[in-house]
Amino acid sequence: MCSIVKQNEFYNVFKENGYRLTTQRKIVLDILIEYKEEHLSIKEIFDKVKEIYPHIGMATVYRTILLFEKVGIVQSIYLNNDYMRYQLKDPQEKHFHHHVVCEHCGAVFDIQDDLLELLEEQVFIQKGFTVTNHKVVLIGICKECSESLGSQN
């Protein structure tokens, strides 16, 4: 996430959508803000939340994340054929950011530039379909891996 996280901007989203920012929701949100660069599974989020709020249940954390996704402050991504992963989403950003995954080492990088405007426009022109979002995962070999693979030859 390239923009500086303004905590209040996230808190306001709740008010705007008619939800209360309960203590539990605030703790989960603060964890996502703290780990905004990472792509966490529900279990990983749960473990971090539990350290601060030991009585919370996994189901509550899961429901909270789904609510965050609904109001547009979390994006879900399926990266490595393991678990669905979640990451904070800037409410100002219209669409989800893209991901680049290295097939060799599993490294994940965020790509903030949408660059899909032309595709979105063409889909509308050709199919009358309005693109409201997208989940893009590009698979390949990262810079470090190509260098080390190259040097083995």
Q: How far is the CB of 15 from Zn ion (least distance, A)?
A: 26
Out of 104, 119, 135, 147, the residue judged to bind Zn ion by CB under 5 A: 104
DSSP, residue by residue, 70-135: HHTSEEEEE-SSS-EEEEE--TT-SSPPEEEEETTT--EEEE-----HHHHHHHHHHH--------
Name the token pair of 116.
């899909």
Contacting range for Zn ion; rule: CB under 5 A; set: 14-22, 42-50, 62-70, 101-109: 101-109
Contacting range for Zn ion; rule: CB under 5 A; set: 4-12, 16-24, 50-58, 106-114: 106-114
Q: Check residue 63 for interaction with Zn ion (CB under 5 A).
A: no
Contacting range for Zn ion; rule: CB under 5 A; set: 2-10, 24-32, 62-70, 102-110: 102-110
State the residue for tokens 């309960």.
22
Q: Check residue 110 for interaction with Zn ion (CB under 5 A).
A: yes
Q: Rounded distance, CA 114 to CA 87, Å?
A: 17
Q: How far is the CB of 57 from Zn ion (least distance, A)?
A: 26
Q: Rounded distance, CA 77 to CA 66, Å?
A: 13
- Alpha carbon 149 to chain centroid distance? 30
Which residues bind to Zn ion, rule: CB under 5 A?
87, 95, 102, 104-105, 107, 110, 114, 116, 142, 145
